[in-house]
Amino acid sequence: MELTRTNITYQKIRSKISPRLAFAAGLVALFVAVPLIYIFVRAISAEPEAWTRLFQERIWKLFANTLGLVLAVTAGAMLTGVTMAFLTERTDLPGAKIFRWMLAMPLAIPAYIGGIVHLALLRPRGGVIPKLLEDMFSQPVFTPSPLGFGGAAFILTLFMFPYVYLLSGAAFRTLHASLEEASRVFGRTPLQTLFQVTLPALRPGLTAGALLVALDILAEYGTVALLRYETFSSAIFVQLSGRYDRSAASVLSGILVVLAIGILWSELRLQGRARFTQMESNWRPAPLMTLGKWRVPAFLLVLGVVSASLLLPVGVLLVWSIQAFLDPETMRTLFSTGSQGFGNYIWNSLWSSSMAAFIAVVLSLPVGLLSVRYPNRFSKFISRLSQVGYAIPGVVIALSLVLLVNRFLPFLYATPFVVVIAYVLRHMPQAVRASESALNQLSPSLEEASRVMGRTSFQTLFQVTLPLILPGLLAGGSLVFLTSLKELPATLLLRPAGFDTLAVRVWVWAGEGFYFQAAPAALLLVLVSALPLSFLLRREQIFK
Amino acid sequence: MQTSKKLLPLLFLMTLLVNACGGAATDTVSEEQATEAAPSTEVSGEAEVSGDLVIYSGRSEPLIQPVIDAFKAKYPNVNILLKAGSNSELANALIEEKANPQADVFITTELLTVQSLTAEGVFQSYAPAGVENIPAEFVGEGNAWTGLTRRVRVIMYNKDLVAEDEAPASIFDLTDSKWQGQVAAAGSTNGGMQAQVAAMQQLLGDEATEEWLNGLIANEVTFFGGHTDVRKAVGAGEFKIGLVNHYYYYLQLAEGSNVGVVYPDQGEGQVGLFTNATAAAVVNGASNPAAAQAFLDFLVSEEGQKLFAEQNYEYPLLAGVAIKEGVQPLDGFRLAEVDVVKAAANFDAMFDLIERVGLP
């Protein structure tokens, strides 16, 4: 969400890279890279029989399914996100201020929870809506099914578009009005201006958003499993709970990671050359477009998106929770199901996610310091490598960690700490990006002054650098916390007996068809996620 | 630059600290688990059993919970840690953990998994008190595992939509176009379904089984993740027919739905009922064998067996424990003659077949 800024190189001032810092950052990168390398080793060393069996047919279907979903959801999220951002930022849409909040809030709702709600409402033959319509018209009325490709694409788009919305919203706000004015002066229509000037200028933000969405879809397990649409992630999961053999799962994982790295690489290529410089001096907001006769349809469109992605899921969860609380039988099972109590799930969720956030931020510091203060090819590589976790879906991280930890660190095996490690690996990129952007905004002259005054580099770090970049680190930590809280597949596979998180409980109950029992946990998960999200949003200008 | 000189030990310290917190925040079972010296009020031998008991259960949580609660009431010093999942997922974990065992007890919903795991050497021999009153065919070789309850694959139907004389009398009728799009069943990740496929392969051969599965898929059968969804959907009239374990029919009936049941394939020359059993075993290298054995004893005891029969309408394996009133007794039914040992040996063939036909 940051503007690309020209990075002054400080190499003139500091000629030498600190070997120890480089070593520390290198260790962090290695820590992230090991599971990835291990999966490849396993995949390559799998017996040829596993490869041939998979390549006979299955793999092509998985490829088609996975890529189809990635493309559909990325396109859908881009379209929805940019449209929503345009309407709330650039037009006189009624209620824009409130809608801005509401459009970002679905980030607090895990897609699988949204999926559970929509499934209950729209399930063919059994859903609330088809039944209602049938009662009204006394004959079955066609309603779109949430199952399969269409349903999965629809649900995932609903809960992924806020990424794109936030990034493009920020870009719309910082875009210089004079660009568009110039375009209008040269005789282009508003629409032409939008497509030929405004959107291209948003490209960096949009590609970042598209990448986030695409990688998230590759990694998505809960929603596709729920809606019975098979992708690589869910196929790996099924393999893990199938035959007593890890090679097929390793092979699929290897292919999936290659796919993810391909997407990561293409984003870097796209991102690489587009740079827009803006003079910050006389910035003024662009004039709002008057919607005129389009006011009502635009309002209804935004309302529809907000309803489907926020109001409806939260509303339904509320109703279910109330029903759960009113039924003593449900209440009994709610508080005695699982070997531990309900409070225990909340506590597990909170401490494991906070721990992951803390570790990720601490580990991101040496990487950030190295890449920002000593920008060169090596430090860039380290920074990239430590962010490769984006490209490793949760299912794959879990598989890799199970094999690795059991083999090399048996004392850690089946402890909640392994779950925390998975969170850290997976969400490290968010921490690294936050640390880098915070350090980027801090002039090194402060640190140099401190060194000149005789403080050691360590004192400088703790007395000068850290206090100044703390807000940025907090934002990174909040992001890691938020995404860890929602994480499902790695938690499911790695959790030791008796260690359940809210996400796991929701999944287990809903998987058994006990929606009322699942609702309070789901609602709580959404509420807890909403807190760090609000904190993140408040850092943005518009949400103040 | 000395920055990182101090940073490294700091990182290391943090990791340690985090590790310590992680250990403190939850009661995880580490390898050298100090048995918690809970202040036991030595009332009876039962109170001596204490510490963490880790149960891996292939039975879904809501169905095993009542039994766990009853055990807890009896042994208040035992802290039960449950991990519920699919049979094969947990079986995979057990195999992986052979060198580093985490679980004390494994509970499964069919015999093929325990049979396969016995061959892998995952279990230790234990003969629970009263095991002699369980039919020999439901006890693993060398007491590696003990059968608990029996269940039967049945066809349930919605009585509002299907007349009694119309209901399919054989599982092979489910591929009849008459029921196109009207049948619900559990999918390929479900232990009960997996076991049925493996049993059919053993009994009827690969070809016939494949034909049947393809027939189901062609007939637009909807495959759910579990049987709870199936029974609810049939009860609500979303589907006319469901292929389930018998107790799901009784559970749905107890919820007040108008459902009927067929114990299928009883005619001359037909295969008979596919039955299976739940089983429990003590894991080799369990860190709390005393609690594990007490738990198995409880599962086989009259009290435990009654719970299974009363709460869940199952057929208890312990001689002398009555089935719940209203449940059809199994005597007189024709049962499919499945060789569990053989079927378990061909477990991989079942996964191959399921993948080949693309069972959802």
pLDDT band at A541 (very low <50, low <70, confident <90, very high): low
Select from A244, A416, A498 the Cβ nearest to the Cβ of B22.
A416
Between the alpha carbon of residue B316 and those of residues B73, B275, B307, the distances in Å are 22, 13, 9
Q: How far apart are CA A194 and CA A504, in angstroms?
A: 44
* A174 vs A527: which has the higher pLDDT: A527
Q: How far apart are CA B95 and CA B122, in angstroms?
A: 7
The most distant pair of C-alpha atoms in chain B lies apart, rounded to whole Å, by 88
Yes or no: say if B43 and B76 are a contact pair by the CB < 8 Å rule. no
Following DSSP, what letter does each residue of A325-354 receive, concatenated?
Answer: HH-HHHHHHHHHSSSS-HHHHHHHHHHHHH
Tokens of A180: 């568009």
pLDDT of residue B48: 77
Closest chain A residue to B89, measured at CA = A241
> Per-residue pLDDT tens for A236-265?
888 877 776 777 888 888 888 888 888 877
B188/A417 Cβ within 8 A? no
Report the share of chain B in percent with pLDDT over 90.
47
* E strand map for B159-228: 183-186, 222-224
Yes or no: say if A123 and A525 are a contact pair by the CB < 8 Å rule. no
Tokens of A296: 């009502």
Q: Which three-class secondary structure state does DSSP give residue A78? A: helix
> Per-residue pLDDT tens for B135-148?
988 999 899 999 99
- Which alpha helices (H) appear in A175-279, and where do they start and end? 177-185, 190-193, 199-201, 203-219, 222-226, 232-240, 247-273
* B174 vs A90: which has the higher pLDDT: B174
Mean pLDDT of all residues belonging to chain A: 82
pLDDT band at A123 (very low <50, low <70, confident <90, very high): confident
Å between B138 CA and nearest CA of chain A: 23
Å between B272 CA and nearest CA of chain A: 27
- The answer to whether the Cα torsion of B100, B103, B109, B110 is positive or negative is positive
pLDDT band at A287 (very low <50, low <70, confident <90, very high): low
* A148 vs A191: which has the higher pLDDT: A148
- Which alpha helices (H) appear in A455-497, and where do they start and end? 457-460, 466-486, 489-494
> In a mutagenesis test of the B interface, which of A455, A506, A512, A516 is the best target, namely the one with the most B β-carbons within 10 Å?
A512
Amino acid identity of residue A211, one-letter, is L
10 Å CB burial of residue B141 (0-12, 13-18, 19+) is exposed
Q: How far apart are CA A298 and CA A88, in angstroms?
A: 10
> Per-residue pLDDT tens for B189-228?
888 898 899 999 988 999 999 999 999 999 999 888 788 8
Region B225-242 average pLDDT? 89
Tokens of A498: 């008796």
pLDDT of residue B39: 38
Check pLDDT > 60 for residue B109: yes
* B271 vs B6: which has the higher pLDDT: B271
Q: Rounded to the nearest 5°, which phi and psi values hold at B244?
A: -140, 175
Q: How far apart are CA B29 and CA A7, in angstroms?
A: 50
Mean pLDDT of all residues belonging to chain B: 84
Query: What residues are paired with B223 via a beta bridge?
Result: B185
Tracing tokens 């002398």 back to the chain, one arrives at: B320
Tokens of A318: 């509320």
pLDDT band at A193 (very low <50, low <70, confident <90, very high): confident
Identify which of B201, B160, B152, B155 has the alpha carbon closest to the alpha carbon of residue B174.
Answer: B155
Yes or no: say if A388 and A33 are a contact pair by the CB < 8 Å rule. yes
Between the alpha carbon of residue B147 and those of residues B78, B110, B163, B230, B256, the distances in Å are 23, 9, 37, 26, 31
pLDDT of residue A57: 66
pLDDT band at B22 (very low <50, low <70, confident <90, very high): very low
> In a mutagenesis test of the A interface, which of B64, B83, B287 is the best target, namely the one with the most A β-carbons within 10 Å?
B83
Q: Which distant-in-sequence residues (6+ apart) come within 8 Å of B64 by Cβ?
A: B57, B82, B84, B107
Q: How far apart are CA B316 and CA B328, in angstroms?
A: 13
Neighbouring C-alpha atoms within 13 Å toward the C-beta of A428: 34
Å between A349 CA and nearest CA of chain B: 12
pLDDT of residue A327: 80
Select from A340, A402, A495 the Cβ nearest to the Cβ of B96.
A402
Region B57-75 average pLDDT? 88
pLDDT of residue A419: 94
Length of chain A: 544
CA angle in degrees (0–180, nearest 5) for B28-B19-A470: 135
Select from A125, A417, A458 the Cβ nearest to the Cβ of B238.
A125
* E strand map for B159-293: 183-186, 222-224, 241-245, 259-262, 275-283
Closest chain B residue to A367, measured at CA = B4
pLDDT of residue B151: 92
* A194 vs A306: which has the higher pLDDT: A306
Check pLDDT > 80 for residue A218: yes
Pairing of strands B275-283, B146-158: antiparallel
Identify which of A361, A40, A12, A3 has the alpha carbon closest to the alpha carbon of residue A176.
Answer: A3
pLDDT of residue A410: 84
> Per-residue pLDDT tens for A423-468?
999 998 888 888 888 888 888 888 888 888 888 878 888 888 888 8
Check pLDDT > 50 for residue B95: yes
Yes or no: say if B351 and A242 are a contact pair by the CB < 8 Å rule. yes
Tokens of A87: 């309407």
Q: Which three-class secondary structure state does DSSP give residue B66? A: helix
Region B263-274 average pLDDT? 90
* B263 vs A58: which has the higher pLDDT: B263
Region A273-291 average pLDDT? 57
pLDDT of residue B40: 36
Following DSSP, what letter does each residue of A142-184 receive, concatenated?
Answer: ----SSHHHHHHHHHHHHHHHHHHHHHHHHHHHS-HHHHHHHH
Q: Which three-class secondary structure state does DSSP give residue B163? A: coil
Check pLDDT > 50 for residue A11: no
Q: How far apart are CA A200 and CA A207, in angstroms?
A: 11
Closest chain A residue to B191, measured at CA = A242
Check pLDDT > 60 for residue A196: yes
Question: What is the pTM assigned to this prediction?
Answer: 0.83
B3/A461 Cβ within 8 A? yes
Tracing tokens 């109590």 back to the chain, one arrives at: A341
Q: Rounded to the nearest 5°, which phi and psi values hold at B273?
A: -80, 135
B21/A355 Cβ within 8 A? yes
Q: Kindly calculate the radius of gyration of chain A based on its CA atoms and give it in whole angstroms.
A: 24
The DSSP letter of residue B167 is: S
pLDDT band at B47 (very low <50, low <70, confident <90, very high): low
The most distant pair of C-alpha atoms in chain A lies apart, rounded to whole Å, by 84
The DSSP letter of residue A376 is: S
Check pLDDT > 50 for residue B159: yes
Region A261-281 average pLDDT? 63
Amino acid identity of residue A127, one-letter, is G
Region A311-326 average pLDDT? 90
Yes or no: say if A215 and A53 are a contact pair by the CB < 8 Å rule. no
Tokens of A354: 């906070």
pLDDT band at A334 (very low <50, low <70, confident <90, very high): low
B348/A243 Cβ within 8 A? yes
Å between B235 CA and nearest CA of chain A: 10
pLDDT of residue B44: 45
Q: How far apart are CA B283 and CA B55, in angstroms?
A: 10
pLDDT band at A4 (very low <50, low <70, confident <90, very high): very low
CA angle in degrees (0–180, nearest 5) for A8-A13-A18: 100
Q: Which three-class secondary structure state does DSSP give residue A195? A: helix
How far out from the chain centre does Cα A443 lie?
Answer: 30
How far out from the chain centre does Cα B323 lie?
Answer: 19
10 Å CB burial of residue B247 (0-12, 13-18, 19+) is buried
> In a mutagenesis test of the B interface, which of A15, A243, A246, A424 is the best target, namely the one with the most B β-carbons within 10 Å?
A243
CA angle in degrees (0–180, nearest 5) for B245-B246-B250: 125
Q: Which three-class secondary structure state does DSSP give residue A450? A: helix
pLDDT band at A484 (very low <50, low <70, confident <90, very high): very high
* A1 vs A307: which has the higher pLDDT: A307
Between the alpha carbon of residue A449 and those of residues A292, A443, A452, the distances in Å are 57, 11, 5
Q: Which distant-in-sequence residues (6+ apart) come within 8 Å of B229 by Cβ?
A: A513, B184
> Per-residue pLDDT tens for B306-318?
999 998 899 999 9
pLDDT of residue A13: 43
pLDDT of residue A7: 43
Amino acid identity of residue B267, one-letter, is G
Identify which of A433, A510, A428 has the alpha carbon closest to the alpha carbon of residue A30.
Answer: A428
Å between B164 CA and nearest CA of chain A: 23
A126/B22 Cβ within 8 A? no
Identify which of A411, A88, A53 has the alpha carbon closest to the alpha carbon of residue A252.
Answer: A53
10 Å CB burial of residue B71 (0-12, 13-18, 19+) is buried
Region B20-27 average pLDDT? 39
Q: How far apart are CA A421 and CA A32, in angstroms?
A: 10
> Per-residue pLDDT tens for B339-360?
887 887 788 888 889 888 888 8
